[in-house]
């Protein structure tokens, strides 16, 4: 019974009339739990047929509803909307609806991942959105189309993306979209939801029911009019909320009570807080066939048809009809041809009424029934997860298939749950268990790398062939091998030896052998002999090494990194080969589980990051969509390095800190790249506070040599910076030179990675030894010019200029500026411009000097580097280059609010959701706040804000 909703019906009727004229719109029905949104949506479906007046054809209605347990089914709600209509349509009509561009909509209805013919995932996703819009347009060509979606907050993400896409294109379509969203539910504040609701033409909020409406409901439920006092009391208890009201009236009807004044106190006792307990008691009192039907309905979910429910409940058609009649009389069923509960609370109460044994028995029966009927594997697996008793081999196949589907749609933790459950049904030492362990490790490497390595190690001894063992081992990400226990490295070497030399193999065996070689060479990055062998291997491949397969590209990434670190080839040759790899390698989040992140470091050192920057943006979008923590961490760190090499110090700093804060500090390899970028920022900008923060975060671990050259060198460099800032130049120099010795012993000669000689030279001057400083600068310059990357060479020329006065110094700085104008590093250019401008001022050329200094300040501001206060005289031994001045600008109101929320523990996403802004906007405000407050990240925000307020 739909009461007091005439206003909402009128608004939708008007929207349907405008849709008939080709002007579509989006309407949102919202409000708190139980305010009658679902009932209104059903009423709109009945309205559609007679609502379009003036001789126009009645609207065609498609409807669906979101469900909590089905949010992981890609395009599940879109399929609810269109699959019944497509199935019911005659073949010619169906083909016309799916003609031309609408053909891409078929991809959304496929149970398995369809072939994409080599197209990029982003292009395929866009084609699906366009295809679904074309399908809606084709269907509305015959009749105006009314799309009804209940509980939008529970709709799966791919369907939400399509609704957001469609909402922006309704103005020329005869399509009316009405969605309901629960107000106050955290899921309703998701960006995808707010994007849709923000595009609405009208927002409807069904009002609480009045005394008159409640009086009608009482009469309808009890078969008699209620006392005025009783109606008033019920109105006050329920607040006019239809669902709570019905919970009260339902319990009174079940208890055979009457709507009279003396029953008011009983009505209060039967309020919403007791709804579930009363409903459970009511269900347990029903005859066995009714309970069986209710249980089957609850466990199969809201969208199972009557026949399937009956088969699970073991009832014939007569028994099903009677069960539906009884449940409907109890007020538990929503209107419609398919029986479903009026609310999830009812479904939960039904499940609560079942015993543990009964629930397990029904779940097993449901899994077998759905599997036998050909339902998607994930729907079957959902029931298998609910039981712990071992099943037959069919359950393993179902769970494994469900895991593969979950991985394809970007849900690795869901896939891991399926696979852990499958292990319960596997043998204890057979190959079936080994394959499950390998699949589990593949899922876990996206969120728990140590567990992934452990499960691969358990699987390898159970596999019978060298090829299978190799296929398992290559699932281990190279980045975790150095931190893995020693036997894991031995395992990789053993399997590689079993498989053989890649050059003597062909086909899949060669691909596996190349990937194993990449992993072994990855672990030899800190051994000069192994670096030299890697360079020899690269040179043996010739000037045009193969890049047609993923394994060739992965190995080439390791070899190019070795050539870059050891500086055995010039930057130009390395960039040419690295870009060939990048051109052929798809941008995906999974690249972090290979050796490809080394390619990013190589291109950054070679000052060639324009292509890789957009490549990483695409990979990050996929990682965030898949909620891959490790993937996002690595890509944030890669982006920090790329931003740093572009001169964007502020953004690089924010990205690096975000990477470190995203995962546990014990995930050493996942944070090394971010720490390296932040170390360079601290050293380049003379930021002792950032150095202290990094040292405090890493503790003593970074200084211990067992964690590797990179961590030890970073620790020594940062400690040297802190000692220099504390006025201890001689102690600082010892740390800096020790870091350099470690880097040189490891074969890491490239000054583009850690220009430690330049940093040490500045401290040598402070210590009063300009001759030693000049020697370091000359050696650094020779190496940088030999490497040939514009940023490193320009920095070297700028440093050399500090050794020369007069015309020679101006000449070197002019060459540095000319070279750096071809570089990606805008901040290094800003520094060279500032130095050259200062020299020209001294030589009496104020016009040229002023032009150069203005350009320098503009570049520094664009890089969020602050004022370049001391670049006028960088050769002064007592004043190292300072990028940020001692005085910091005041925070804006928005920056202050965002910083306060971050200091209080809010994540970036939580802040964005609360303020109703984008995640990127929050990141920008935090970056500005860190720079203005001179803190490295969230750790120092609270204290800095207190000082700022003072």
Average pLDDT over the chain, rounded to an integer:
84
Phi/psi of residue 203, each to 5°?
Answer: -115, 125
Contact 175, 145 (CB under 8 A): yes
pLDDT confidence of residue 116: 53
pLDDT confidence of residue 873: 34
Contact 41, 177 (CB under 8 A): no
Tell me the mean pLDDT in the region 765-780.
89
Contact 852, 843 (CB under 8 A): no
pLDDT confidence of residue 877: 31
pLDDT confidence of residue 895: 81
Q: What is the pLDDT of residues 866-925, one digit of tens each?
A: 555 433 333 333 233 333 333 345 777 778 888 888 888 787 777 877 777 766 677 777
pLDDT confidence of residue 603: 95
- What percent of the chain has a predicted confidence (pLDDT) above 70? 88
For the ranges 111-115, 609-613, 685-689, the maximum mean pLDDT occurs at 609-613
Is residue 392's pLDDT more than 90? no
Q: What is the pLDDT of residues 503-526, one digit of tens each?
A: 899 999 999 999 999 999 998 888
pLDDT confidence of residue 119: 58
Separation CA 484–CA 64 (nearest Å) = 49
Q: What is the pLDDT of residues 180-209, one digit of tens each?
A: 997 755 577 789 999 999 989 999 988 888
Confidence of residue 276 (pLDDT cuts 50, 70, 90): low
pLDDT confidence of residue 797: 92
Task: Provide the CB-side half-sphere exposure for 303 (13 A, CA).
Answer: 17
Tell me the mean pLDDT in the region 580-594.
90
Which has more pLDDT, 398 or 100?
398
Is residue 272's pLDDT more than 60? no
- Total-model pTM: 0.62
pLDDT confidence of residue 875: 39
> CA angle 828-656-646, nearest 5°?
25
pLDDT confidence of residue 31: 82
Is residue 49's pLDDT more than 70? no
Is residue 547's pLDDT more than 80? yes
pLDDT confidence of residue 33: 65
pLDDT confidence of residue 627: 73
Say which range, 277-281, 443-447, 477-481, 729-733, has the weakest mean pLDDT.
Answer: 277-281
Tell me the mean pLDDT in the region 337-364.
83
Which has more pLDDT, 71 or 381?
381
**What's the DSSP call for residue 199?**
T
Separation CA 615–CA 635 (nearest Å) = 10
Confidence of residue 295 (pLDDT cuts 50, 70, 90): very high
Select from 147, 153, 149, 208 the least CA-distant residue to 183. 153
State the CB neighbour count (10 A cutoff) for residue 929. Answer: 26
pLDDT confidence of residue 721: 92
Which has more pLDDT, 423 or 698?
423
Confidence of residue 20 (pLDDT cuts 50, 70, 90): confident
pLDDT confidence of residue 64: 92
Task: Sketch out the chain's domains with CATH numbers.
Answer: 6-204 (3.40.50.300), 211-270 (no CATH), 275-354 (1.10.10), 626-632+660-862 (1.25.40.10), 893-949 (1.10.10.10)
pLDDT confidence of residue 930: 74
- What percent of the chain has a predicted confidence (pLDDT) above 90? 38
Which has more pLDDT, 892 or 83?
83
Tell me the mean pLDDT in the region 849-854.
90
Q: What is the pLDDT of residues 156-188, one digit of tens each?
A: 999 999 999 999 888 889 999 999 997 755 577
Mode of pairing for the β-strands spanning 25-31 and 60-65 = unpaired
Distances (CA, A) of 263 to 253, 266, 270, 275, 431: 12, 5, 11, 17, 67
Tell me the mean pLDDT in the region 44-52.
66
Separation CA 74–CA 109 (nearest Å) = 9
Distance of CA 660 to the CA centre of its chain: 16
Is residue 305's pLDDT more than 80? yes
pLDDT confidence of residue 869: 40
Per residue, the 3-state secondary structure of 299-313, as one string, reads: HHCCCCCHHHHHHHH
pLDDT confidence of residue 937: 65
Tell me the mean pLDDT in the region 472-494.
82
Is residue 29's pLDDT more than 90? yes
Say which range, 332-346, 759-773, 806-820, has the weakest mean pLDDT.
Answer: 332-346
pLDDT confidence of residue 217: 86
Listed in sequence order, the residues at least 6 apart from 383 whose beta carbon sits closer than 8 Å to its beta carbon are: 299, 363, 364, 366, 367, 370
pLDDT confidence of residue 161: 92
Q: What is the pLDDT of residues 126-144, one digit of tens each?
A: 888 999 999 999 998 888 9
pLDDT confidence of residue 882: 34
Which has more pLDDT, 866 or 97?
97
Task: Provide the CB-side half-sphere exposure for 277 (13 A, CA).
Answer: 6
Confidence of residue 743 (pLDDT cuts 50, 70, 90): very high
Is residue 114's pLDDT more than 60? no
Q: What is the pLDDT of residues 800-849, one digit of tens each?
A: 998 888 899 999 999 999 999 999 999 999 999 999 998 998 888 889 98
Distances (CA, A) of 807 to 812, 813, 831, 842: 9, 10, 19, 11
pLDDT confidence of residue 57: 57
> CA angle 788-882-808, nearest 5°?
50
Core vs surface per residue 723-735: b (16+ CB within 10 A) or e: bbbeebbebbbbb
Instruction: Return the structure tokens found at 869.
Output: 């206060």
pLDDT confidence of residue 874: 37
Q: Look at the block and give the residue holding tokens 């890649």.
A: 502
Tell me the mean pLDDT in the region 45-50.
70
Q: What is the length of the chain?
A: 950
Which has more pLDDT, 268 or 731?
731
Is residue 281's pLDDT more than 80? no
Confidence of residue 663 (pLDDT cuts 50, 70, 90): low
Contact 807, 825 (CB under 8 A): no
pLDDT confidence of residue 870: 39
Tell me the mean pLDDT in the region 586-596.
89
Is residue 585's pLDDT more than 70? yes
pLDDT confidence of residue 449: 81
Separation CA 688–CA 679 (nearest Å) = 10
Is residue 558's pLDDT more than 90? yes
- The radius of gyration computed from the CA coordinates of the chain, to the nearest angstrom, equals 34
pLDDT confidence of residue 77: 92
Separation CA 698–CA 82 (nearest Å) = 54
């Amino acid at each position: 019974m739909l009461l007091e909703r005439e206003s909402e019906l009128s608004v939708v009727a008007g929207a349907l009339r405008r849709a008939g004229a080709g002007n579509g719109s989006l309407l949102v029905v919202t409000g708190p739990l139980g305010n009658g949104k679902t009932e209104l949506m059903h009423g709109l479906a009945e309205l559609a047929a007679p609502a379009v007046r003036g001789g126009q054809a009645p609207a065609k209605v498609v409807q669906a509803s979101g469900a909590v347990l089905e949010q992981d089914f890609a395009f599940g709600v879109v399929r609810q909307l269109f699959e019944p209509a497509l199935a019911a349509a005659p073949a010619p009509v169906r083909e016309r609806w799916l003609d031309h561009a609408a053909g891409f909509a078929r991809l959304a209805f496929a149970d398995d991942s369809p072939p994409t013919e080599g197209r990029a995932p982003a292009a395929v996703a866009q084609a699906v959105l366009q295809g679904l819009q074309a399908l809606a347009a084709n269907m509305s060509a015959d009749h105006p189309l009314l799309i009804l979606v209940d509980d939008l907050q529970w709709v799966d993400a791919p369907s939400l993306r399509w609704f957001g896409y469609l909402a922006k294109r309704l103005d020329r379509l005869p399509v009316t979209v009405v969605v309901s969203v629960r107000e106050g539910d955290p899921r309703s504040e998701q960006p995808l939801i707010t994007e849709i609701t923000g595009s609405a033409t009208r927002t409807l909020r069904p009002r609480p029911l009045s005394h008159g409406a409640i009086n009608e409901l009482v009469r309808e439920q009890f078969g008699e009019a209620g006392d005025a006092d009783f109606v008033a009391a019920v109105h006050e208890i329920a607040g006019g909320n239809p669902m709570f009201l019905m919970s009260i009236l339902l319990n009174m009807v079940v208890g055979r009570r009457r709507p009279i004044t003396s029953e008011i106190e009983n009505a209060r006792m039967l309020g919403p807080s007791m709804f579930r307990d009363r409903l459970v008691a009511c269900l347990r009192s029903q005859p066995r066939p009714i309970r069986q039907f209710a249980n089957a309905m609850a466990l199969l979910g809201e969208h199972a048809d009557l026949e399937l429910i009956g088969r699970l409940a073991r009832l014939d058609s007569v028994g099903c009809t009677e069960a539906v009649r009884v449940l409907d009389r109890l007020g538990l069923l929503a209107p419609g041809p398919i029986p479903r509960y009026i609310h999830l609370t009812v479904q939960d109460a039904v499940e609560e009424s079942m015993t543990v044994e009964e629930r397990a028995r029904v779940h097993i029966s449901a899994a077998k029934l759905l599997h036998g009927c050909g339902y998607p594997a994930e729907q079957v697996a959902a029931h298998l997860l609910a039981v712990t008793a071992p099943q037959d081999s069919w359950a393993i196949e179902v769970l494994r298939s469900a895991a593969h589907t979950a991985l394809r749609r970007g849900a690795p933790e869901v896939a891991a749950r399926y696979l852990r459950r499958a292990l319960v049904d596997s043998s204890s030492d057979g190959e079936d268990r080994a394959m499950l362990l390998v699949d589990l490790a593949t899922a876990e490497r996206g969120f728990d790398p140590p567990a992934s390595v452990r499960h691969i190690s358990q699987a390898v001894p159970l596999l019978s062939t060298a090829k299978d063992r190799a296929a398992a081992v290559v699932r281990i990400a190279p980045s975790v091998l150095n931190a893995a226990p020693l036997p894991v490295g031995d395992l990789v070497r053993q399997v590689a030896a079993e498989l053989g030399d890649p050059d003597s193999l062909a086909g899949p065996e060669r691909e596996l052998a190349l990937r194993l070689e990449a992993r072994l060479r990855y672990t030899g990055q800190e051994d000069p002999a192994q670096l030299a062998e890697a360079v020899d291997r690269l040179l043996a491949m010739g000037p045009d090494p193969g890049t047609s397969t993923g394994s060739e590209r992965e190995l080439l990434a390791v070899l190019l990194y070795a050539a870059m670190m050891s500086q055995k080839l010039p930057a130009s040759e390395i960039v040419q080969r690295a870009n060939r790899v990048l051109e052929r390698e798809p941008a995906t989040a999974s690249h972090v589980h290979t050796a490809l992140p080394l390619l990013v470091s190589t291109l950054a050192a070679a000052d060639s990051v324009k292509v890789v920057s957009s490549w990483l943006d695409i990979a990050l979008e996929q990682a965030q969509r898949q909620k891959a923590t490790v993937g996002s961490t690595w890509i944030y760190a890669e982006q920090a390095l790329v931003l740093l090499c572009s001169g964007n110090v502020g953004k690089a700093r924010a990205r690096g800190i975000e990477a470190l804060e995203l995962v546990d500090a014990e995930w050493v390899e996942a944070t090394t790249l971010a720490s390296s970028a932040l170390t360079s920022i601290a050293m380049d900008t003379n930021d002792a506070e950032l150095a202290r923060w990094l040292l405090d975060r890493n503790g003593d671990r970074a200084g211990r040599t067992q964690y590797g050259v990179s961590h030890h060198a970073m620790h020594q460099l940062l400690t040297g910076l802190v000692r220099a800032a504390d006025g201890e130049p001689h102690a600082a120099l010892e740390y800096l030179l020790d870091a350099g010795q470690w880097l040189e012993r490891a074969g890491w000669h490239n000054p583009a990675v850690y220009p430690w000689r330049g940093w040490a030279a500045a401290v040598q001057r402070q210590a009063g030894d300009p001759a030693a400083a000049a020697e370091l600068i000359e050696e650094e310059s020779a190496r940088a010019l030999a490497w040939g990357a514009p940023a490193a060479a320009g920095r070297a020329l700028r440093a050399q200029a500090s050794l020369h006065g007069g015309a020679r110094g101006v000449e070197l700085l002019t060459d540095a500026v000319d070279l750096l104008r071809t570089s990606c590093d805008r901040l290094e250019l800003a520094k060279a411009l500032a130095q050259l401008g200062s020299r020209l001022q001294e030589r009496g050329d104020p016009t040229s000097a002023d032009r150069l200094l203005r350009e320098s300040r503009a570049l520094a501001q664009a890089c969020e580097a602050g004022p370049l206060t001391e670049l006028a005289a960088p050769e002064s031994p007592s004043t190292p280059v300072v990028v940020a001045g001692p005085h910091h600008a005041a925070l804006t109101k928005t920056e202050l609010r965002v910083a306060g929320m971050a200091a209080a523990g809010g994540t970036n996403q939580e802040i964005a959701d609360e303020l109703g802004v984008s995640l990127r906007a929050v990141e920008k405000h935090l970056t500005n706040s860190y720079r203005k407050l001179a803190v490295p990240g969230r750790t120092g925000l609270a204290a800095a804000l207190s000082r700022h307020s003072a």
